[in-house]
Structure 1
Amino acid sequence: MATLLHLDSSLNGENSHSRAVTAAFREAWESEHPDGTVVYRDLAADPLPHLTAPAYYAGFSDPAAHTPEEQSAFALRKQLLEEAEQADALLIGAPMYNYSIASGLKTWLDHVIAVGRTVASEQPTLAGKPATVVTSRGGAYGPGTPSEGQDHLQPYLEMILGEKLGLKTDFILAELTMAPNVPAMAELIPLYEKSHQQSRADAETRGRTLAKQLAA
């Protein structure tokens, strides 16, 4: 049985566009692989504590030699690392906030980026796992748009998840999510609706396909 690690980081609860798309992926995954396991973390509703110096530096030493303080500090980081390592696939909801990722997702990354284990290792422990990243943003940042070049979310995640952690990363994008709420963007509502529908369809297809592959 395959295990999916599902992370959401949107602050918007039921009104979240990224959560709607990750939910579509997960529903498709579970319908195709009902015997599988889903480990879920809501990084907004149940935020992780920021990485501390004792927890960080404990990652460079032998766990058997950790002091009680280091053991306590490293306990959560160890749990988060093992959740990612034991997963067969990752699903990450990553809305854009202020041109980059949510602070809750950044905190999770700080815990699971471990030198000599998940990065900078001859055998990085997350390498090769498929990761589906659902990104959403209020505007559009592609070539030719007024905001071209201001997207610091997807390039960062491509680098950190793909190049550094070695995950096989696919992105699903829902954009122009502010169009229904901003009068000046009213003419963009059809493009928003098309993007949102396409992102949900892509998520459902990806969820089913990945579940089939991993359950085979």
Structure 2
Amino acid sequence: MSTIFRLDASIRQDGSVTRAVADTLEETIAEELGSPAVVRRDLGSNPIDPTLWPLAAFAGYTPEEQRTPEQVAAIQDAAALADEVVSADVLVFAVPLYNFGVSQHFKAWYDLVATDPRLSVGQSTVTGKPAFLVTARGGGYGAGTPREGWDHATGWMRRVLEDVWGLDLDVIETELTLAEVTPQMAELRDLAREQLAESHETARRSGRSVTIKLRPAA
């Protein structure tokens, strides 16, 4: 049986665009793979303790017999998180843009899981696995907009998922997600709805590509 690993970082349960688009993506992938197992990691409702990262990081440079109980526990936590990633056949990361940067919940998770040797720089054991990054931005950040260059999250996430881990990554981006609740963005609401609909369609199309990506090379 195939396994999907799905990570959500939105602090919203209801009304989250990343969760909604990831739902469409997951449903499509599940149809393609025939009822796979789904391992969920909801960082929005169950965040990683950020104090674990320095414990695990310094433990890697500490002889095993000299590690503190706290360091040992942190290493074990990192290994458990890494198990979820390494054992999956397909990975879905649903992470919104917060305050122009990376979600602190996603960053804390990545920092800890990357201390595991299987997911550290230059030693990735997930290279080539199909993966999807679903992200959303409240405003417009494209070329020519006032906020061009203010998205400091998507580039970083692509770097660590594509270049460090070597994942075969598709990125599904949705903008203007705050238009419906922001009076100053009222004139952009039709465009925002179009973008959201396009993101769901992209999720369906991308999800249907999974079986091709999982097919062994000839």
What is residue 191 of structure 1 aligned with on the other side? 191
Alignment check: 8 A CA contact 1:130 1:169 kept? yes
Q: 1:69 to 1:9 in 2, by over 3 A?
A: closer
Q: 1:65 to 1:210 in 2, by over 3 A?
A: farther
State whether structure 2 residue 91 is matched by structure 1 residue 90.
yes
Identity between Structure 1 and Structure 2 (%): 36
TM-score (norm 1): 0.90
Alignment check: 8 A CA contact 2:53 2:112 kept? no
Q: 1:63 to 1:83 in 2, by over 3 A?
A: farther
TM-score (norm 2): 0.89
C-alpha distance after superposition, 1:49-84 (max 9, x if no partner):
113433222345687986644332211111011111
Alignment check: 8 A CA contact 1:33 1:212 kept? no
Paired with 2:86 and 2:63, the residues of 1 have a C-alpha distance of 18
- Once the two structures are overlaid, the 10-residue window that deviates more, 14-23 or 80-89, is 80-89
What is residue 44 of structure 1 aligned with on the other side? 44
Paired with 2:63 and 2:83, the residues of 1 have a C-alpha distance of 16
Helix, strand or coil at the partner of 2:56: helix
Alignment check: 8 A CA contact 2:170 2:206 kept? no
- CA positional deviation for 1:213: 4.2
Helix, strand or coil at the partner of 1:44: coil
Q: Which runs of 5+ in 1 are unaligned?
A: none
What is residue 130 of structure 1 aligned with on the other side? 130
- CA positional deviation for 1:44: 0.7
Alignment check: 8 A CA contact 2:32 2:210 kept? no
Matched residue type, 1:92: F
What is residue 149 of structure 2 aligned with on the other side? 149
Matched residue type, 2:46: D
Matched residue type, 2:98: Y
Paired with 1:68 and 1:11, the residues of 2 have a C-alpha distance of 31
Matched residue type, 1:111: L
State whether structure 2 residue 101 is matched by structure 1 residue 100.
yes
- 1:190-209 matches, cutoff 5 A: 190-209=190-209
Structure 1 runs of 4+ with >4 Å offset: 60-69
Alignment check: 8 A CA contact 2:94 2:135 kept? yes
Matched residue type, 1:29: I
Q: CA RMSD in A?
A: 2.2
C-alpha distance after superposition, 1:170-210 (max 9, x if no partner):
11011101111111111111110111001011112212221
What is residue 5 of structure 2 aligned with on the other side? 5
Helix, strand or coil at the partner of 1:117: helix
Alignment check: 8 A CA contact 2:130 2:214 kept? no
